[in-house]
Structure 1
Amino acid sequence: MIGARPLVRFGLLATPLLLAGCVVGPSFHGPKLAVPTAFLSPSRAAPAWPKPGWWRNFGSPELDSLVEAAKLHNFSVIEAIDQLEAANAQIEVSGSPLLPSITGSGSGNFQQAGTGAAGASSRSAFSQFGGVGSGKNSTTHSYSANFQASYELDFWGKNYDALRAAQANAAAAQFNAATVALTEEASVATTYFQVLAYEDELAIAHHNLDAAQGLLAQLKAEFKAGVVDEPTVAQQAALVASERATIPNLVSELRQQALGLGILTGKAPEFLRVKGGSLNDIVVPPLRPGLPAQLLERRPDVAEAEATLIGANATVRGAFASFFPSITLTGSGGWQSTALNTLFNPGSALLSAVSSLSQPIFEGGALTGTLNVDRATYREDVAKYEQAVVQAFTDVETAMTALHYATDQEHLQQIAVQRAQAALDGARAQLQAGVVDVSTVLNAEETLLSDENTLEQSRLTRLDAAVNLYKAMGGGWVLPKNEVR
């Protein structure tokens, strides 16, 4: 059974939460899933979980630098980090209804007016004789300062559930950032290994081309001496042309893979320099996970799915709470005076307090529809969580199986290459002794070339399987202790 406990964070919002009365809606209980007791895939390694910086175990300093560049500059990683920042900010927004809302205002008013008839006669005398009237003006001053506080009692837990959903979504964003980072790290490793594989195949092609050209030169000399016929020379020349024709395609594939490292490391291809090397220099460390139950705390995608599920449950609870009354407390206080210097005297104070209750009566189905939508979303997230768990076990089993048999294939293919090389050496010696014709040598060359390329592909398959196993085991990621389930 896979347990799930709600994510909890404590901070400045803890005190208002104590004011919450009743909570409504379904409590969160993690889905019950059967967890295997052990992995089935064969492995010769002792159980050991990977650690952070897992790519360093392959022993390639250039790979290390490429992965570090991707961690800093990969666009998908940066995007996931920005999404995490937005989710953390949303916690503040969602938590604000749990605190009182306080506003302040102030005003000052000045008004001057005449005294009526006296003012009118004076204005008339002024107009007729040019004199100044004797009317009087009245002046009024008014000053005020006010503060208003409003607080909604979270009696049914609606606002708390909104905060809880935001916290769960922020945790999911955090786990998603870890998943994206792990995915990009693995992509850098597999792409880099592909570059090395093409470099090895290119070296094999050049080596075989040189050998074929050497044999062609020998056959031409023997043709002039009358030892071999012209079709024999033509057959070898055709082999030389065929091997030379494979080189441009290998160079193209090599460069395309190297260019692909640019987008992974966040650099334009013109600024990227890949030294390369050989797959023979890469070390494949022994890998094997521990117990399957431990895997669920080492996969950020599983943690993300569970956090999303917790958030969806909190949203359903909030939708339930919307059916119940909301209670709001409002208080205001201030001062009002006709003189600024006496504004804050005790006699100028004004106080008021109001409480209100609002109960939804008819919403045209909006509340019911919202609840049904949230319930369906929760069930969808349950399915996604269960899929993430099963996918985690599947990924590990698949990667372990691939690594085990790729290791066997590489070992057997090395034997095949050794025997093909011995057969070619023997055929060349027999050709010089005149025991066999050149077709025997040509067949031996083609066999060796094919076996060498197959060996290179089996090495690449083994390395890719090792990277996939590191990724399937979480790449050294562990559920943070402060993120309790």
Structure 2
Amino acid sequence: MHRLAWFGRVCAGWLALSLLMLGSACTVGPDFSRPPAPTPSGYLRDAQPSTVAAQGQEQRFLPGSEVSPYWWRLFQSAPLDALVDQAIAHNMTLQGAEASLRRSQDTLMAGYGVFYPQLDAHFGAGRERSAPIQQGQSTPGSVFNVLTLSGTISYTLDVFGGERRTVEGLQAQVDQQQWLMQAAYLTLTANVVNTAIARAAYTAQIEATQQLIELQKQQLQSTQAQVRSGTAPYSSSLSVQSLIASNEASLPALKQKVSQAEHLLATLEGAMPSQLFLPDIPLSGLSLPKDLPVSLPSMLVRQRPDILAAEAQLHQASADIGVATAAMFPSFSLTGTYGTAGASAGSLFAGAGRFWSVGPSMDIPVFQGGRLWYGRQAAIDAYQQAAANYRQVVLASFAQVADALKALEFDAQAVQKQAEAQATAQEALRLLQANYRAGLVTYLELLAADVQLHQVNIAYLQALAQRHQDTVGLFVALGGGWWNRPDAAAQRPAP
């Protein structure tokens, strides 16, 4: 018992010494600092972007305003909201990202274990035969039993901060996985909304094309009647037939696109294509968001998940330099062992079988053939690579926002011109209908005007769908507003 108390006092002394060494310890390697926010006040070289009114729908850019975390609700479609909610709940990619985040968090908690004493217990039992001749003795060997019970306590003295840098890198990995999960969330919601818009646009184009084909068939009947009466050449009939065949050929491609959109939605929803019932979401049932936020450039780098993930990767590379630098210095540890041995269970706790050891150890790298030096250089190179990747992600993000702003500006102009063409075609058809009733024009001319109107309608649908999708693109480029969700308060990074 006296020896056990003495052993405890020795361990306490070494622990005090280790705490003293830790108090004077340093952490080698660079301390990470966040890259500064960009200084430009806008995303475009020219003036602030603006849009024009198109059929009474004008979108306004609001610089510095907050992005809604549930931006898809601005389209004011309950079926669309239900699709997004179901995808968030059942999407496999998002669930995989969440599992990856949990794994990195558990790895970080495991890494924290290095800061605590490591206590291990050992029990062994064996039967042995000795050979005294190995020690130069001529006595015969004997067979005996050996039972051993021992405990070992060890503690790593992180004098140069290598372990602290390792844990810092693990924390950076957690941050990176967190932002990658947010990026997966943003990509998922954007894909669901864009695919639903595309499906609605393709369906509307199919309906307009079918109506156009019916009018062209009526036009063909009139043309064939004129050919039979000798008032029109046969080539006119062939021209109309070719036009009908061309439009009919476009229907399978549009139907295939609808089918592909539905299958993609099923995948995003986490269901088999044969098991998912999709609600009918017409393009006319989607409201165009009018007030569009435009985050400040200095805030974008603190909000976009891909930029934050690249920053976390840069942080991890910085910590790796510290780990590689600490490996070039001596490493210290304190180990203590206490145990007892005996030939039987009854003699296991006899005083004669007790043994113990306590003391520090130091490993000094003397010559490694350049392995440690070039390992540190490789860590520095990796940091420079991560820094370049970070800058590239920022540049690409700013370009994406600029593209979205200009796209919405041009979309508004395209929709406006398509609306003007639509109004002109409708007025022309109205006048021709009046002239037809007065007997001033033929029915064939009337059908030609109706065909032209339907062609303009199809082009208008395409322009309108593009405007909706580019609106989605702006919300995605600005980061999706995830930081404004109630459950994201703890994840919001420091400015």
TM-score interval, smaller chain: 0.7 to 0.9
SS, match of residue 482 in structure 2? coil
Matched, 1:403 2:420: no
Q: Tell me the CA shift for residue 61 of structure 1.
A: 2.5
SS of the aligned residue for 1:199 comes to helix
What do residues 303-353 of structure 1 show as CA deviations (whole Å, max 9, x unaligned)?
Answer: 111111111101101101111001111101123456756755788754321
Quote the offset at 1:31 in angstroms: 3.2
Partner AA of 2:79 in structure 1: E
> What's 2:75 paired with?
58
State the 1:249 CA deviation: 2.7
Q: Relative to 1, partners in 2 of residues 1:418 and 1:333: Cα closer, same or farther, differing over 3 Å?
A: same
Residue matched to 1:42: 49
Structure 2 regions of 5+ residues with no counterpart?
1-18, 51-59, 131-141
> Could you tell me which amino acid in structure 1 is paired with residue 107 of structure 2?
Q
Instruction: Work out which of the residue numbers 180, 183, 191 in structure 2 matches 1:179.
Output: 183
- Give the 3 Å change call, closer, same or farther, for CA 274–109 of structure 1 in structure 2: closer
AA aligned opposite 2:183:
T
Indicate if the aligned counterparts of 1:97 and 1:152 stay in contact, CA closer than 8 A: yes
Q: Within 1, Cα distance between the matches of 2:129 and 2:444?
A: 120
Higher deviation after alignment, 66-75 or 416-425? 66-75
Aligned partners of 1:111 and 1:298: how far apart in 2? 67
Q: How many residues are aligned here?
A: 446
Structure 2 counterpart of 1:462: 467
Equivalence for 2:391: 386
Give the fraction of aligned pairs with identical amino acids, expressed as a percent.
28
SS at 1:269 equivalent = coil
Distance in structure 2 (CA, Å) of the matches to 1:403 and 1:267: 33
CA distance in 2, matches of 1:434, 1:483: 72
TM-score by length of 1: 0.82
Offset at residue 366 of structure 1 (A): 1.1
User: Structure 1 residues 364 and 440 mapped into 2: Cα distance closer, same or farther (>3 Å)?
Assistant: same
**Structure-2 separation of matches of 1:460 and 1:218:** 35
Amino acid at match of 2:120: T
Larger CA Rg, structure 1 vs 2: 1
Q: Is 1:450 the counterpart of 2:466 in the alignment?
A: no
**Any stretches of 5+ residues in structure 1 without a counterpart?**
1-14, 114-137
Change (3 A) 1:422 1:154: same
Aligned counterpart, 1:84: 101
Structure 2 equivalent of residue 315 of structure 1: 320
Which letter does structure 1 place at the counterpart of 2:114?
P
Q: CA offsets per residue over residues 52-89 of structure 1, 9 Å max, x none?
A: 22212212233223222322333322332232222222
Mapped to 1, the partners of 2:21 and 2:299 lie a distance apart of: 34
Aligned equivalent of 1:372: 377
Residues 1:262 and 2:266 aligned together? yes
Change (3 A) 1:373 1:258: same
Residues 399 and 112 of structure 1: CA distance in aligned 2, closer, same or farther (over 3 Å): closer
SS at match of 1:329: strand
Distance 1:221 1:36, change over 3 A: same
Residue 108 of structure 1: how far off its partner (Å): 5.2
1:152 aligns with 2:156: yes
Q: How does 1:85-104 map to 2 (within 5 A)?
A: 85-104=102-121
Classify 1:469/1:427 alpha carbon distance in 2 versus 1 (closer, same or farther; 3 Å).
same
Q: Secondary structure at the match of 2:440?
A: coil
Shift in Å, 1:227: 10
Partner of 1:290: 295
Match 1:246 to one of 230, 242, 250: 250
Residue in 2 that maps onto 1:31? 35
Normalised by the length of structure 2, the TM-score is 0.80
Residues 431 and 18 of structure 1: is their aligned pair in 2 closer, same or farther, counting only changes over 3 Å? farther
Q: Name the SS of the counterpart of 2:323 in structure 1.
A: helix
The alignment status of 1:69 with 2:81, answered yes or no, reads no
Counterpart residue type for residue 323 of structure 1? M
Deviation digits for residues 153-196 of structure 1, max 9, x if unmatched?
00000011001101101110111011012112111211111110
2:296 partner letter: L
* Pairwise CA distance, 1:33: 5.5
2:35 and 2:165 mapped to 1: Cα distance? 20
1:413 matches 2:418: yes
- The alpha-carbon deviation at position 267 of structure 1 amounts to 2.1
CA RMSD of aligned residues (A): 3.2
